Structure 1
Amino acid sequence: MRNDTPSHYSGTTRFLHWAMSLLIILQFMKLGDRINDGEHWVGQNIVPWHISVGALIFVLALLRLWWALRQRPHRPQPEAMPALVRLGHNLLYACMLLLPITGICTMLGGGYGLTVFGINLVAETEVEIPWLAAIGNLHSYIAWTFVALVIGHIAAALFHHFVRRDRTLRRMLGS
């Protein structure tokens, strides 16, 4: 595995970024479940995978966090407002980790059990665990915060590309 350099991100970094981006877009489609009580194509075909994709994102987020910490000395550094850039990225990572954790709390706290990619990890008990369900109640709030952060992240990348005309977006695209 090649390391990041001050001028570009490695293939590993780019793969983790874009793979997780696609999975996160799938997760955002869960918002479509709120339309017509999920009685449409998205609600019937994508939403049932929400828990499994969330578990995959959690594993990839841990891997990505480990990789980012390992690459920290090599990475391109933000030119403008580095403290704000770090805060934004840290909040994105926090959401990528907290969303699956609170999702698991929702499932277990409600007694629903936990099945990931068809593998039953925790059996359904139908016994509610109030303190765990209370933590799970944060899931939706964190999800909406994450949506706002992702929109801000995309807007910042586009601002760098089209207004500042720097290499920020190109480094993540590999060009």
Structure 2
Amino acid sequence: MMNDSKARYGSITRFFHWSMAILVSWQFLKFFDRINDGEHWVGETLVPWHISIGSLILVLIVLRLGWTVKEKGNRPEHGSIIGVLAKIGHGLLYVALVLMPVTGIFYMVGNGYGLSAFNLEIIAKGEEVSWLINIGSLHSYIAWGLLFLVAGHIGMAFVHQFIIKDGTLKRMM
């Protein structure tokens, strides 16, 4: 089943969810770059893909938002306060997932580095643009916020599975 239903999320929604979960987890490896100036396996092997993966996440989040709007009426619903809190939490996740790559791009372009992803030049190197640097400097703060949102998201999935026992996690598997 490709589309969502009231009982279960469809394969496209699950593809977006789990592929982005993997890519965002990869992006969090950038935190290890702070250790020993990135002079270790993670810093030398996985972190160099940070900009390319971030660009891919931006494309996926735009597609995912479009898919979410299209499937809005088909989604499983929760009429309680938990449902309202879930919508707020998911909304904050979406906002952070859009802002992360956008502020990263602003930082790179603002500093005159340009933007290349997967060895393709997307934006050429240029002059420094201070207002882009200022907005781009929020990238690290948003990363920490996203980390906490993801931890809360995972925590609530386990609460739904083992305490509330409402089958939420099963609908995403």
Q: Same fold (TM over 0.5)?
A: yes
- The runs of 5 or more residues in structure 1 that have no matched partner are none
Equivalence for 2:158: 158
User: CA separation in 1, counterparts of 2:131 and 2:172?
Assistant: 41
- The runs of 5 or more residues in structure 2 that have no matched partner are none
User: CA separation in 1, counterparts of 2:60 and 2:137?
Assistant: 23
User: CA separation in 2, counterparts of 1:80 and 1:47?
Assistant: 41
Equivalence for 2:69: 69
Equivalence for 2:94: 93
Equivalence for 1:113: 114
After superposing the two structures, state which structure 1 stretch, 1-10 or 142-151, moved more. Answer: 1-10
Aligned residues: 172
TM-score of the pair, normalised by structure 2: 0.96
Q: C-alpha deviations, 1:60-91, integer Å up to 9, x for none?
A: 00111111111110100125422211110000
> What is the percent sequence identity of the aligned residues?
50
How far is 1:166 from its partner?
A: 1.5
User: CA separation in 1, counterparts of 2:48 and 2:37?
Assistant: 13
User: CA separation in 2, counterparts of 1:57 and 1:123?
Assistant: 21
Equivalence for 1:40: 40
User: CA separation in 2, counterparts of 1:24 and 1:2?
Assistant: 23
How far is 1:36 from its partner?
A: 0.6
User: CA separation in 2, counterparts of 1:147 and 1:46?
Assistant: 18
Q: C-alpha deviations, 1:118-154, integer Å up to 9, x for none?
A: 01122223x3211010000111111100000000000
How far is 1:165 from its partner?
A: 1.4
- Secondary structure at the counterpart of residue 25 of structure 2: helix
Please report the RMSD computed on the Cα atoms of aligned residues, expressed in angstroms. 1.1
User: CA separation in 2, counterparts of 1:96 and 1:31?
Assistant: 17
What is the one-letter code of the residue matched to 2:14? Answer: R
Equivalence for 2:53: 53
Alignment of 1:130-169 (within 5 A): 130-169=130-169
Q: Does 1:10 align with 2:10?
A: yes
